[in-house]
Amino acid sequence: MNEEQREKYEKAEQIIQHTFDNEQFLLSAITHPSAAEGRSVRYSYERLEFLGDSILGAIVASRAFDCFHELDEGGLTRIKVALVSGSSLASVAESLGFADVIIFGSSETGTGRRGLHSALENVYEAIVAALYLDGGIEAAEAFVERTLMDRMSLDLAKEPENPKSALQEKLQEDGITPTYRLVETQGPPHDRTFVAQVFAGEHGLAQGTGRTKKEAESQAAKSTLARLGEFFGLGLTEDEKAEKAASKEQARAEKAAAKAAEKAERARKKTEKRQHSGEEVQFKAEEIES
C-alpha cells in the first residue's frame, strides 16, 4: 500500500471497528474500479459488492422476520427493500464518513467524483462482504447491526411497493399528473448514477438518484410523497388551508352532484322511452281493433 492507501485503510478500520487479518479484503472493499484499471477485478469492490448484497439482504431479512411477527411477506419485503435500497445505503455510508476513505483512480480526478452516491452504496455492500470473509457472519452482522438496523421500523412496511403509482394516485386527486425527467448523469460509463426529478406541469418537485433511471425515478417519487406538504401546502395560512380544503370539498360535491344529475337524466330518458314504446303498442292495438 502506498501512503494514501494506508491512510485511508486505517481510517476505514476505525470507522468499521474491526481489525482485518487479511488486509486485502478491506483494501479492495474501499477501492473504486477506476483505481484498479488494468488489474484483476479482485483489486476493487466490484466482486465484493456482489457477495455483500446477498449477505446484507439475508441479515436484514432475518432481523425483520424476528422483530415483526405479525407482518406478512409483503410487509417484510417492503422493510427489506427500503433498508437495502441504494439511497439508504449511500446515506448510511456517507454519515459514517466513507466518502473520505474511498480510493479513486486518476480518471475520476477533477470530476468532483460524480459517481460518489453509487460508490458509497457499493462500498457499504463490499465492506459487509469483506467482514464476512475476514471475521465470519458474526462480524458482518455486528457491523450491519451498529450502522443500519436503527433505521428499521414498522413504518417502512407501510411504504408503497411502487412509489410512482402511489404518487400518481395521490396527485391525480387534484387533477395533477406527475412526469419525470432525467436531469443529470453522473460517473464514468462503468459506474453510472442517474438523477431524476418529478414535475407537476413545469413545477419541479423532489429529485432522486439511482444506478438505473427507473430506480432514480422511484426514489424521486418516494421523496416527493414524503414532502407533499412542503410542495403543496407549505407557506399557507390556516385560513388559506381551510379555503383550499373547502374548495376541494366543494369541487368533489359538485362532481358528485353532476354525476347524480347525469344518472337521473339517463333514468328519465329511459322511462320516457318505455312510456313512448307503450303508447305506440297501444296505438297499433287500437288501429287493429278499428
For 217, residues 6+ apart whose C-beta sits below 8 A from its C-beta are 164, 180, 196, 198, 208, 210
Asked whether residue 274 falls in the same domain as residue 250, the answer is yes
Catalytic residue selected from 125, 134, 215, 217: 125
Asked whether residue 147 falls in the same domain as residue 289, the answer is no
> Which of 143, 158, 173 is a domain's end point?
158
First to last CA, the chain: 116
Asked whether residue 29 falls in the same domain as residue 132, the answer is yes
* Positive/negative CA dihedral, 202, 208, 212, 217: negative
Q: How many domains does the chain contain in total?
A: 3
CATH code: domain of residue 100 = 1.10.1520.10
pLDDT digits (tens, 9 = 90+) for 136-174: 999 999 999 999 999 998 888 876 667 888 888 888 877
> Which of 99, 127, 158 is a domain's end point?
158
Find the Cα–Cα–Cα–Cα dihedral 23, 29, 30, 34, rounded to 10°: 120
Select from 231, 233, 185, 178 the least CA-distant residue to 211: 185
Asked whether residue 154 falls in the same domain as residue 172, the answer is no
Instruction: For the chain, list residues with pLDDT below 50.
Output: 110-113, 234-237, 240
Asked whether residue 66 falls in the same domain as residue 148, the answer is yes
Whose grid coordinates read 288501429? 287
pTM of the model: 0.62
Asked whether residue 179 falls in the same domain as residue 105, the answer is no
Start-end of H helices in the chain:
3-16, 23-29, 46-67, 73-83, 86-96, 116-147, 163-171, 213-226, 228-232, 238-289
Asked whether residue 219 falls in the same domain as residue 270, the answer is no
Exposure of 174 by Cβ count < 10 A (0-12 exposed, 13-18 middle, 19+ buried)? exposed
CATH code: domain of residue 176 = 3.30.160.20
Q: What pLDDT is recorded for position 169?
A: 83
Domain extent at residue 287: 237-290
The region, left, alpha or beta by phi > 0 then psi within -120 to 50, assigned to residue 38 is: left
> Which of 158, 180, 201 is a domain's end point?
158
Asked whether residue 198 falls in the same domain as residue 151, the answer is no
Q: In what order do the strands lie in the sheet with 193-200?
A: 178-186, 193-200, 203-210
Asked whether residue 20 falls in the same domain as residue 82, the answer is yes
Q: What pLDDT is recorded for position 236?
A: 41
Catalytic residue selected from 46, 49, 53, 108: 53
Q: For residue 37, how many C-alpha atoms fall within 13 Å in the half-sphere facing its CB?
A: 9
Amino acid of residue 128 = V
Whose grid coordinates read 500500500? 1
Asked whether residue 202 falls in the same domain as residue 268, the answer is no
DSSP state of 103: B
Is 125 among the catalytic positions?
Answer: yes
Q: What pLDDT is recorded for position 111?
A: 44
Three-class DSSP category at 9: helix
Select from 277, 148, 160, 275 the least CA-distant residue to 224: 160
For residue 214, give the C-alpha cell: 427507473
Contact 256, 249 (CB under 8 A): no
Asked whether residue 17 falls in the same domain as residue 109, the answer is yes
Amino acid of residue 246 = A
Asked whether residue 169 falls in the same domain as residue 148, the answer is no
